[in-house]
Amino acid sequence: MKKVGMVSLGCDKNRVDSENVLFTFKKAGYKIVQDGKDADVILINTCAFIDKAKEESIDTILEFAALKEGTNKKLIVLGCLAERYGAELEKSMPEADAFVGINSYHDIVSIVESDKRLLVKNEKQTYYEKGRLLTTPAHYAYLKIADGCDNFCSYCAIPFIRGRYRSTPIEELVKEAKSLSEQGVKELILVAQDTTRYGKDLYGRYALKELLSALIPLDFVKIRLMYAYPELIDDELIDMLSAEDKLAKYLDIPMQHIDDGVLKRMNRRSDEKKIRELIKRIKSRDSDIAIRSSFIVGFPGESEEEFAKLKAFIAEGNIDYAGFFTYSVEEGTAAAKHTGLVPKRIKAKREQILSAIQSQNIENNHKKYLGKTISVIYEGIDYDRGMFYGRNEQNSPEIDTKILFTADFPLDIGEYYNVKITQTGFNLEGKVVEI
């Protein structure tokens, strides 16, 4: 039996693709292994979103190319880097046996089993049986509700890599979600490049709330919503998040900036007034709904005044959790033609400033939990601190803060426990209590 191993880089949407591909190989009779040293076929699912992601992808390919040297192993490069730069990589990376674009996964097994060195890139989206071989911890999984993007933000190459926005029908998503639930998944995390646009291409209307209504009856503890663009978040969606116990009180809203001039150059559809009004509507409806966002620092032409406005906005404590990224030029995008590039050292400094402010915001915000008992899903052990760790519904896995805690009895990973918070800071600390 041949063995296949996968390294999946980039976003959680890419992870779902990786899980689909691994399922395809398992169905074809391959054994899935964790260590590339044990694999006959090494799959690298790459990311090409920003410079750092490209660099990580290239470094990973080279790392496993060295592992392949002198063996009969095959090295297959998948994903966004292969989709966008496959022709160039084929010439510059002879170590790889195939470069497979994102629309060719239906044929991945025959590509791997071919004796020829291949560059495979289909222009049209192809559909195939997409089972899942989960790579996340057993208690949570991502549900990719759409692929591609129609927003055409000036800095982003996703529409050129992934194509136009394509929603998966509700009935197919419910079927997939039900299968995940039957596998023991407790937390379902909805992802797409823009989840709030869901359904427009299929049904002629925005259908995210319909999808949520169809998923709520399934046997999940929590359903989490990621990548909700600000201009399409309405009061009805906010009310659903507040009222439905199964919906996590959490909303990931990519804002990218707060200055109107920068937002316009980014080709974003929101402005400062609308963003502030949205935050006010969410928090006034339910202050327990955590808002997470992402911001780009050093966009072309970002002046000291424009950065100061973003800095002041973050300092106000408007956002519960946030990620900050320095702008990188993506060829083929509208922003790549912009002048006024911000020097790398200034971008890095601005990112550090915002990250420090946001860390303090988190510490301040966490003080409200002191003495309270909250439901926490147990996810692992911090051996350095000698404590368990997990999350509450206001934390998304891998990107937000943790809750560290102790217990007087054995715990099961993936189960929920009541934790009384005894210490606050960037991460919360507490102890499991019985209620």
pLDDT of residue 213: 97
Measured CA to CA, the distance from residue 194 to residue 432 in angstroms comes to 37
User: 82 lies in a domain?
Assistant: yes
pLDDT digits (tens, 9 = 90+) for 48-58: 777 777 888 88
CA angle 241, 246, 249 (to 5 degrees): 40
pLDDT bucket at 93, cuts 50 / 70 / 90: confident
Total Cβ atoms within 10 A of residue 388: 23
- Displacement of CA 123 from its chain's centroid (Å): 25
Query: Do 269 and 297 belong to one domain?
Result: yes
Query: Do 99 and 217 belong to one domain?
Result: no
Residues 329-352: what's their mean pLDDT? 92
Query: Do 358 and 419 belong to one domain?
Result: no
Query: Do 294 and 331 belong to one domain?
Result: yes
**Given 3-state DSSP classes, what are the helix, strand and coil percentages for the chain, each rounded to the nearest 5?**
40, 20, 40
pLDDT of residue 292: 96
pLDDT of residue 388: 95
pLDDT of residue 198: 96
- Among the candidates 339, 367, 395, a domain finishes at 367
The residue that leads in pLDDT, 103 or 365, is: 365
**Side chain identity, residue 391:** R
pLDDT of residue 132: 85
Query: Do 228 and 349 belong to one domain?
Result: yes
User: 131 lies in a domain?
Assistant: no
Query: Do 252 and 219 belong to one domain?
Result: yes
- Among the candidates 89, 120, 151, a domain finishes at 120
User: 39 lies in a domain?
Assistant: yes
User: 96 lies in a domain?
Assistant: yes
pLDDT of residue 249: 96
SS (H, E, C) 81-104: HHHHHHHHHHHHCCCCCEEECHHH
pLDDT of residue 129: 66
pLDDT of residue 101: 82
Total Cβ atoms within 10 A of residue 65: 18
Query: Do 103 and 167 belong to one domain?
Result: no
Report whether pLDDT(367) > 70. yes
- Among the candidates 54, 88, 120, a domain finishes at 120
Measured CA to CA, the distance from residue 253 to residue 263 in angstroms comes to 15
User: 133 lies in a domain?
Assistant: no
CATH code where residue 39 lies: 3.40.50.12160
| 389 in Cβ contact with 382 (< 8 Å) | yes
Query: Do 199 and 52 belong to one domain?
Result: no
User: 126 lies in a domain?
Assistant: no
pLDDT of residue 161: 84
pLDDT of residue 376: 96
Query: Do 157 and 29 belong to one domain?
Result: no
87-96, 294-303, 370-379, 396-405 — which is least confidently predicted? 87-96
Query: Do 26 and 113 belong to one domain?
Result: yes
Q: What percent of the chain has pLDDT over 70?
A: 97
Q: Is the dihedral of CA 207, 210, 214, 219 positive or negative?
A: positive
pLDDT digits (tens, 9 = 90+) for 7-24: 888 888 888 888 888 888
Q: What percent of the chain has pLDDT over 90?
A: 61
The per-residue pLDDT of the chain, averaged, comes to 90
User: 221 lies in a domain?
Assistant: yes
**Side chain identity, residue 326:** T
pLDDT digits (tens, 9 = 90+) for 168-190: 999 999 999 999 999 999 999 99
| 323 in Cβ contact with 295 (< 8 Å) | yes
The widest CA-to-CA distance across the chain, in whole angstroms, is 64
CATH code where residue 228 lies: 3.80.30.20
Query: Do 116 and 78 belong to one domain?
Result: yes
Residue 407's domain spans which residues?
A: 370-432
Closest CA to 101 of 117, 86, 118, 116: 86
User: 392 lies in a domain?
Assistant: yes
Domains: count for the chain: 3
Burial class (CB in 10 A: 0-12, 13-18, 19+), 217: exposed
Query: Do 326 and 251 belong to one domain?
Result: yes
pLDDT bucket at 30, cuts 50 / 70 / 90: confident
Measured CA to CA, the distance from residue 421 to residue 78 in angstroms comes to 44
